[in-house]
Amino acid sequence: MKKFLSFLVVILVSSMFLAACSSSSNESDGEATEGDQVVIDFFHRWPNEPRKSFYDEKIAEFEKLNPNVKIKVDAVLNDSYKEKIKVLVSNDNLPDVFTSWSDTFAANLVSSERIMSLNDIMAEDPDWSGNIIESQYAGFTFDDVTYGIPFTVDGKAFFYNKQIFEENNIAVPASYDELVTALDQLKAAGYETPVVEGLTNGWAISHYMGTIFDRVVDNSVLVKDYTAATGEFTDPGYIRGLEIFKELTTYMGDVSTAIDHEAARNMFAAGEVPVLYMQFAEVKYVQDAGDVEFGFFNFPEVKDGEGRPKSLTGAPEGWMLSKNAPPEAVEFLKFLTSEETAKAFTKADGQLNAIKGGVTEETSNPTSLEAYQIILDASDATPWFDNAIDITIADIFMRGGQELATGQTTPEDIMKKVQEAAAKLRNQ
Amino acid sequence: MKIKKAYITPILFMVPTILFLGLFIYIPLIQNFYNSFFEFSVFSQSKEFVGFSKIKELLVDEVVMIALNNNVKYAIISVLLQVFFALVLAAVLEDKFFRRFAPALRVIYFMPVMISISVIALLFGFVYNPQIGLLNSFLELIGLEELAKPWLGNSTTAIYSVIAMSQWQSVGLITMLFIVAIQKVPKELYEAAEIDGAGKIRKFFKITVPQVKEATFVNLLVTVTGSILVFNEPYILTNGGPGNSSMTLAVHMYQTGFFKDDMGYASTLASLIFLLSAMFALIQIKVSKTGKED
C-alpha cells in the first residue's frame, strides 16, 4: 500500500510539473488572467532608445486608463525579431499584439491562419481606421482581408553630408555614373571610405539589391521573378545589378563586412563618412548622434537600366493581432495607432507614420517633413527586397552580397545559385 | 512475488526520469527523424511527404561541406588548445613552484567559464571591432599595425576569430578537470621519480600524462563532441558570415529552419548533427570502458 501511495505521489508531482509546463505555453491565447486582470502579451522590435521608452510610457498610460489590463512587453532587435516571431507562430504561441513588416513577411504570418482578420474591427470604427493613410494598408491586405494596421512609413535614400559635398564642389548625383564620379572625388579628397554600410546585416544588403534591381530590371520581369511559382531570374539585368553592388562595395573599405548598420550610421553622424544609404526612419538617430548637416537623394537612375528610374524603396511596418487576442488587445491596438499616439511618437522618435495628422510642422522638423513628402509623392514604391521575395532566394543574395564584398564570389555564381533555388521553388 | 516487489521501488524512482527523458529527449528525437521526410513550413500545419529527397539535398549542399569543414577546424584547434594546452596548464598550476599562486590563477582561468557565452560573444565583438577594437589597437600599439584587419569581416579570419574566443572561454574548465585528475595521482610516484633524478618535463611525460589518461580521453571526446554542436559563438559573432565562411552545422540548421523556413531540411541537418555527435559519444563510452578508473 505504501508503495502504491509513493507511486501515486510520483505520478501526481510529475503531472503537476507537466501541467505547469503546458499552461505557460497557452499564456498568449488571450485568456490568461492574473486575478481579475487581463494580460496582454505585447512584442515589438525596439529594445533600443528612444522607442523603447516611448512604448514603455504608452503601456503605462494604457494600463492607467484600463486598470483591468496588464501588458507584458518583450522586445528584441530586427534580425532576432524575425526569427523569434517565427518560432512563436510555429508553436501557436503568438503574442496578442506584435510588430510586423508588410508584404511577404506579413503574408507568411497570415498563412499560419493564426492572425486576426481586422476587416470587421475596422468597419466598426471608421473614425479610427479611416484616419490611416489608405495606400499603406496594401502590404497587409491579402485577398481583400486586412491583417495589419500600418503605423510607420518609410523610404530609403542616400544621406549625404552637405558640408563635405560643398567643400569639395560635388553636386548631388542625378545618375549612377555621377554617383560613382562623386565617390571617386570624395576618395581623392581623402575619404578612404566615401560610402559605407554595415554589411554584417543581411537586410542592409537586401535593401541595396532591391533598389538596384528595380533600376536595372524591367518591372514586369521583377513581378514575375519575385513570385515563387514563376520566378526564373534569367534576366541579364541581375548580373548588371550585382556588378553595381560590387562596385559600390569597393568604396566601402575593409570595415564594411565587419560592422553593422548602426556602426555605419554612427560613422556618418560623426562626419567620418560622407554618404550612407539609410532609411528615413533614421533621421532622428543621425540628428541625435551628431551635428552633421545632411540631405538626401534617391538611389539615382541607372542610364542603361530597364527598370523604374525614380521608384522609392520602402514599406510600412505595422501591428498585428493574434487570432485569440482578447478585446482589450484590440483597444490597445487602437490606442497605439491613434492620432494622439502618432503625434507623441513623431515628437519622441522622429519616425514618420501612417496616421493622418501624425506628422506635422508641430511634431516634426523640416528634414523629416521633407522625407515625409518624398514618401507621399513617390511615383512607385519598391518593397524591402527581403520581404518581396522568398527568403531562400533573399538569403542567397544577402550572403552573396557579403561574398562579393570580400571577393569570394562573382555575380554569375550568385545568379547560378539563385536560378537553382528559383527552379526548386517553382517545382514545389 | 517478493522479488517482484523488490523491483518496484527502484522503478518508481526511475519513473520521473524516464518520463522526462522520453518527453524532452527521445520523443523529440524520433519526431525529428520523422520530420526529415517531410516538406513543411514553420507557418503551416500541413506537411508533404517527400521521402529521401531532403537527404539527397544534404549530400549536394555545399554549405554543409563548408560547415563540416569549419566544425572539423573547430575540433582540431579545440583539441590542441583545450586538451593539450589545458593539461600543460594544469600541470604547471599543480607544480610546487606555482602552488602558492595556484588559487588565484585557477580563479583567473576559470572565470570565463562562468560568464554566459552570449555576453562573451558580445564582448569579443568589441575586441574584434575593426575601428575601435582592442585587438587592432593592441597591434598598432606594438607596431604591428600591418597585421590589423577586420577579423570578423574577413572570410579567411572569421572562423579562426570565433574559434579563438571559444578557446579562451573553455580552457579554464578543462584545466580544472585535469587539476582534479592530477591531484588523484599518487604522490609516491613523483617522489620516486625525484629520487631517481627525473626533471619536471620528464615527470610530466612519464608520470602525469599516463596517469591522467582517462581524464584526457574524456576531455578529448567532450571537446570534439562540443565542436560538432557549436552554435552560440558563430551565431552571435558572425551569423555564419561573411557569406558562409564561418558557418557551422548547428548555425546552418538554425538558419534553415527559422530563417529560410525549411523545417524538413532543418530536421535532416539536425539528424546529421545527432548522428555525428552520437558517433563520438559511442567512441567515448567504448574508450572509457577499456580503461580503468580509480
| pLDDT band, very low/low/confident/very high, at A381 (cuts 50, 70, 90) | confident
User: Residue A26: its pLDDT value, please?
Assistant: 40
B244 at A interface, C-beta within 8 A: yes
User: Residue A16: its pLDDT value, please?
Assistant: 47
Share of chain A above pLDDT 90, in %: 69
User: Residue A416: its pLDDT value, please?
Assistant: 97
pLDDT higher than 70, residue A258: yes
* CB contact (8 A) between residue A13 and residue B19: no
Question: Rounded to whole angstroms, how far apart are CA atoms A221 and B207?
Answer: 73
Angle between helices B86-94 and B158-183 (to 10 degrees): 40
User: Residue B294: its pLDDT value, please?
Assistant: 44
- Cell numbers linked to A238: 541581375
* CB contact (8 A) between residue A89 and residue B42: yes
| Cell 501526481 sits on residue | A12
User: Residue A18: its pLDDT value, please?
Assistant: 46
Bridge pairing between strands A148-152 and A275-279: unpaired
Contact between B38 and B53 under an 8 Å Cβ cutoff? The reply is no
- Classify residue B143 as left (phi > 0), alpha (psi -120 to 50) or beta: left
* CB contact (8 A) between residue B150 and residue A254: yes
Rounded to an integer, the average pLDDT of B225-240 is 93
User: Residue A34: its pLDDT value, please?
Assistant: 53
Tell me what ipTM this predicted complex has: 0.86
Among the ranges given (A2-11, A195-204, A242-251), the one the predictor scored with the smallest mean pLDDT: A2-11
| pLDDT band, very low/low/confident/very high, at A12 (cuts 50, 70, 90) | very low
* Sequence-distant (≥ 6) Cβ neighbours of residue A426 within 8 angstroms: A228, A229, A230, A231, A232
| pLDDT band, very low/low/confident/very high, at A236 (cuts 50, 70, 90) | very high
- Cell numbers linked to B115: 560568464
* Strongest mean pLDDT among A265-279, B93-107, B270-284: A265-279
B214 at A interface, C-beta within 8 A: no
CA distance A114 to chain B (A): 9
pLDDT higher than 80, residue A119: yes
Contact between A218 and A237 under an 8 Å Cβ cutoff? The reply is yes
Rounded to an integer, the average pLDDT of B101-119 is 89
Share of chain B above pLDDT 70, in %: 96
Contact between A34 and A40 under an 8 Å Cβ cutoff? The reply is no
- H-helix segments, chain B: 2-21, 27-35, 53-60, 62-78, 86-94, 102-114, 117-127, 134-141, 158-183, 187-195, 200-203, 209-211, 213-229, 232-237, 249-258, 263-290
| pLDDT band, very low/low/confident/very high, at A351 (cuts 50, 70, 90) | confident
Share of chain A above pLDDT 70, in %: 92
**Rg of the Cα trace of chain B?**
24
Which stretch of DSSP H or E encloses residue A295?
strand A294-297
* Sequence-distant (≥ 6) Cβ neighbours of residue A141 within 8 angstroms: A147
Contact between B47 and B31 under an 8 Å Cβ cutoff? The reply is no
Among the ranges given (A316-320, A407-411, B127-131), the one the predictor scored with the smallest mean pLDDT: B127-131
User: Residue A379: its pLDDT value, please?
Assistant: 72
pLDDT in tens, B233-258: 999 999 998 999 999 999 999 999 98
pLDDT higher than 70, residue A400: yes
Average pLDDT for chain A: 89
Q: Which residues of B touch A403 (CB under 8 A)?
A: 155, 242-244
Query: How would you write A78-136 as a 3-class SS string?
Result: HHHHHHHHHHHHHCCCCCCEEEEECHHHHHHHHHCCCECCCHHHHHHCHHHHCCECHHH
* CB contact (8 A) between residue A18 and residue B153: no
Q: Which residue has the higher pLDDT, A350 or A331?
A: A331
pLDDT in tens, A41-93: 999 999 988 889 999 999 999 999 999 999 999 999 887 898 889 888 887 78
pLDDT higher than 90, residue A169: yes
Rounded to an integer, the average pLDDT of B244-273 is 94
pLDDT in tens, A205-221: 999 999 999 999 999 99
Peptide bond before residue A47 is cis, with ω within 30 degrees of 0: no
User: Residue B198: its pLDDT value, please?
Assistant: 86
* CB contact (8 A) between residue A402 and residue B242: yes
* CB contact (8 A) between residue A428 and residue B39: yes
CA distance A317 to chain B (A): 19
User: Which of A87, A199, A255 is closest, CB to CB, to B131?
Assistant: A255
pLDDT in tens, A126-153: 999 999 988 889 889 999 999 999 999 9
Peptide bond before residue A50 is cis, with ω within 30 degrees of 0: yes
pLDDT higher than 80, residue A1: no
pLDDT higher than 60, residue A10: no
Contact between A269 and A292 under an 8 Å Cβ cutoff? The reply is yes
Question: Rounded to whole angstroms, how far apart are CA atoms B222 and B210?
Answer: 19
User: Residue B45: its pLDDT value, please?
Assistant: 67
pLDDT higher than 70, residue A176: yes
User: Residue A19: its pLDDT value, please?
Assistant: 45
pLDDT higher than 80, residue A97: yes
Average pLDDT for chain B: 89
| pLDDT band, very low/low/confident/very high, at B68 (cuts 50, 70, 90) | very high
* CB contact (8 A) between residue A255 and residue B153: yes
* CB contact (8 A) between residue B153 and residue A89: no
pLDDT in tens, A269-291: 999 999 999 999 899 889 888 88
B5 at A interface, C-beta within 8 A: yes
pLDDT higher than 80, residue A33: no
B125 at A interface, C-beta within 8 A: no
- Cell numbers linked to A37: 486582470
User: Residue A87: its pLDDT value, please?
Assistant: 84
Closest chain A CA to residue B46: A112
Chain center to CA of B254: 17
* CB contact (8 A) between residue B241 and residue A399: yes
Which stretch of DSSP H or E encloses residue A276?
strand A275-279
User: Which of B5, B43, B151 is closest, CB to CB, to A108?
Assistant: B43
Of B245, B253, B105, nearest to B179 (Cα)?
A: B105
CA distance B129 to chain A (A): 7
* CB contact (8 A) between residue A108 and residue B261: yes
pLDDT in tens, A308-333: 999 999 999 999 999 999 999 999 99
CA distance A349 to chain B (A): 27
- Cell numbers linked to B147: 597585421
User: Residue A225: its pLDDT value, please?
Assistant: 96
Cα separations (Å) of A368 from A155, A271, A294, A373? Answer: 11, 20, 11, 9
A351 DSSP 8-state letter = -
